[in-house]
Structure 1
Amino acid sequence: MNAKTSGRLAALDGVRGLAALIVLAHHSLYTNAAFPGTPGAVSVPQGSPMWWISYTPLKLASAGWESVIVFFVLSGLVVTLPVVRKRGFDWVAYFPRRAVRLMVPVIASVLLAAVFVMAIPQKSTQADGTWLSDSSTPNFSWEYIVKAWDLLGGDGQINNPLWSLRWELIFSLALPVFVIAALAVRKWWLGGLAAAVALTWLGVRTDSGALSYLPAFFVGAVLAVRLEAVRNFADRVNARRWRHPFWFVMAFGGATLMIAPWLFGPGIADAKELGFALKGLAPFGAAAIVVAAIGWAPFRALFESKPLQFAGTISFSLYLVHVPIIIFFTYLFAGQVWWMPLLFAVPAAILVSIGFTWLVEKRSHGWSRAIGAWASDRYRASFGREQESERAETAADTAAVAAQGRR
Structure 2
Amino acid sequence: MTGTGGTVEEKTRQATGGRLAALDGLRGLAAVVVLLHHALYTNPDFPGAPGGGRAPAGSPMWWISYTPLKLFTAGVESVIVFFVLSGLVVTLPVIRKRGFDWVSYFPRRAVRLLVPVMASVLLAAVWVMAIPQKSTQPDGTWLSNSSTPDFGWKYIVQAWDLLGGDGQINNPLWSLRWELIFSLALPIFAVLALAVRKWWIGGLAAACALTYLGAYAGSGELQYLPAFFVGAVIAVRLDAVRNVAARINTHWYRHPLWAGLTIGSLLLLIAPWLVGPSIGLMPELDAVLKGMVPLAAAGLVVAALGWNPLRATLETRPVQFSGTISFSLYLVHVPILIFSTYLFAGQPWYVALIFGIPVAVVVAVGFTWLIEKRSHGWAKAAGVWASARYSTWFGRDDVAEREPERERTGELHGERRDSVADARR
Identity of paired residues, percent?
A: 71
Partner of 1:60: 71
Partner of 2:115: 104
Letter matched to residue 142 of structure 2 = W
Question: 1:240-251 maps to which residues of 2 (within 5 A)?
Answer: 240-251=251-262
Cα distance in 2 for partners of 1:234, 1:146 equals 47
| Pairwise CA distance, 1:248 | 0.6
Residues 1:81 and 2:92 aligned together: yes
Please give the TM-score of this superposition, normalised by the length of structure 1: 0.94
Partner of 1:152: 163
Letter matched to residue 319 of structure 2 = L
Partner of 1:181: 192
Letter matched to residue 153 of structure 2 = W
CA offset digits 1:196-229 (Å, max 9, x no partner)? 0000000001000000000000000000000000
Relative contact order higher in (CA < 8 Å, ≥ 6 apart): 2
Please give the TM-score of this superposition, normalised by the length of structure 2: 0.90
| Pairwise CA distance, 1:39 | 1.1
Partner of 1:299: 310
| Pairwise CA distance, 1:2 | 2.4
Question: 1:8-407 maps to which residues of 2 (within 5 A)?
Answer: 8-384=19-395
Cα distance in 2 for partners of 1:317, 1:359 equals 10
Whether the aligned pair in 1 keeps the contact of 2:390 and 2:396 (CA below 8 Å) is: no
| Pairwise CA distance, 1:41 | 2.7
CA offset digits 1:9-57 (Å, max 9, x no partner)? 0000000000000000000000000000001234211111101110000
Cα distance in 2 for partners of 1:272, 1:360 equals 42
Whether the aligned pair in 2 keeps the contact of 1:36 and 1:43 (CA below 8 Å) is: yes
CA offset digits 1:49-77 (Å, max 9, x no partner)? 10111000000000000000000000000
Partner of 1:2: 8
CA offset digits 1:128-164 (Å, max 9, x no partner)? 0000000000000000000000000000000000000
- SS, match of residue 249 in structure 1: helix
- SS, match of residue 275 in structure 1: helix
Q: Which runs of 5+ in 1 are unaligned?
A: 387-407
Cα distance in 2 for partners of 1:187, 1:99 equals 32
| Pairwise CA distance, 1:385 | 8.9
Of the structure 1 ranges 33-42 and 173-182, higher mean CA displacement relative to structure 2 is found in 33-42
Cα distance in 2 for partners of 1:314, 1:74 equals 16
Cα distance in 2 for partners of 1:40, 1:383 equals 57
Cα distance in 2 for partners of 1:268, 1:231 equals 37
CA offset digits 1:234-256 (Å, max 9, x no partner)? 01111111000100111111111
Answer with 1 or 2: which has the greater Rg: 1
Whether the aligned pair in 2 keeps the contact of 1:3 and 1:11 (CA below 8 Å) is: no
Aligned CA RMSD, in angstroms, stands at 1.1
CA offset digits 1:381-400 (Å, max 9, x no partner)? 111199xxxxxxxxxxxxxx
Cα distance in 2 for partners of 1:385, 1:42 equals 59
Cα distance in 1 for partners of 2:396, 2:179 equals 35
Runs (4+) off by over 3 Å: none
